[in-house]
Amino acid sequence: MKLLWNIFWAFVRIGALTFGGGYAMMPMLQKETIERYGWCTQEELLDYFSLSQCLPGIIAVNMSTFVGTKLAGSTGAFIAGIGVTAPSFIIIILVAILLQQVTDLSLMNHAFAGIRIGVAALIFHSVLRLSKSSLKTRIAQLICLGAVLLSVFTDLSPIVIVVVAGLIGVMIGMYNNRNNIEGEASGS
């Protein structure tokens, strides 16, 4: 029961303190799931994040579901999902009520402009942190460079880019495994 309570409150904090969607939540996810509780490794979190981007739905909910499932099965997934969405649900209701009361919309526009800058900084921080753990090999760096170039200079869907990068990773892994097996067979 204590684990479920910890899952719930960890994801309530993530949901309440993350602005800007799934990318901006990575620093909070890293802090809560890796540093504070040790529930997963950096590599696992990166895998969950990659899968969450490929699946339909909200990245934050997908991420919480993966972590919750790892920790406590379907009950953990449900508790984590409720935890991460509850703050947004409450905040949206309060904002909707308050927006009707706000008379100076330019003040709100300035606030949102500031929030966007903060979110961009959080995303940049996550990219730097994730790149340290995922771009360890020359081939990983080349795949990343190719994905960046495709996303900047083409109109390809991000889904296509992620799927292609995943397929390249699978092909390289299969090639490396085949070479390892052949090397062991010729060395015996």
Two structure tokens written together for 56: 């339909």
- 188 in any annotated domain: no
- 58 in any annotated domain: yes
pTM of structure: 0.59
CA distance 2 to 129: 30
Q: Are residues 148 and 109 in the same domain?
A: no
Range of the domain at 141: 136-183
Cα 116 → chain centroid: 18
Q: Alpha helices of the chain — where are they, by DSSP H? A: 2-17, 26-29, 42-54, 59-101, 105-134, 138-153, 158-187
Q: Are residues 16 and 41 in the same domain?
A: yes
CA distances from 41 to 3, 12, 29, 102, 146 (A): 18, 20, 11, 44, 26
Amino acid identity, position 78: F
Q: Are residues 38 and 55 in the same domain?
A: yes
Q: Are residues 117 and 142 in the same domain?
A: no
pLDDT tens string for the chain (188 positions)?
A: 999 999 999 999 998 887 766 677 888 889 999 999 999 999 999 899 888 888 888 888 999 999 999 999 999 999 999 999 999 899 888 887 877 666 567 777 788 788 889 888 888 888 888 888 888 889 989 999 999 999 999 999 988 999 999 999 899 988 888 877 776 766 65
CA distance 93 to 115: 19
Domain count, the chain: 2
Q: Are residues 47 and 140 in the same domain?
A: no
Q: Are residues 33 and 86 in the same domain?
A: yes
Q: Are residues 60 and 84 in the same domain?
A: yes
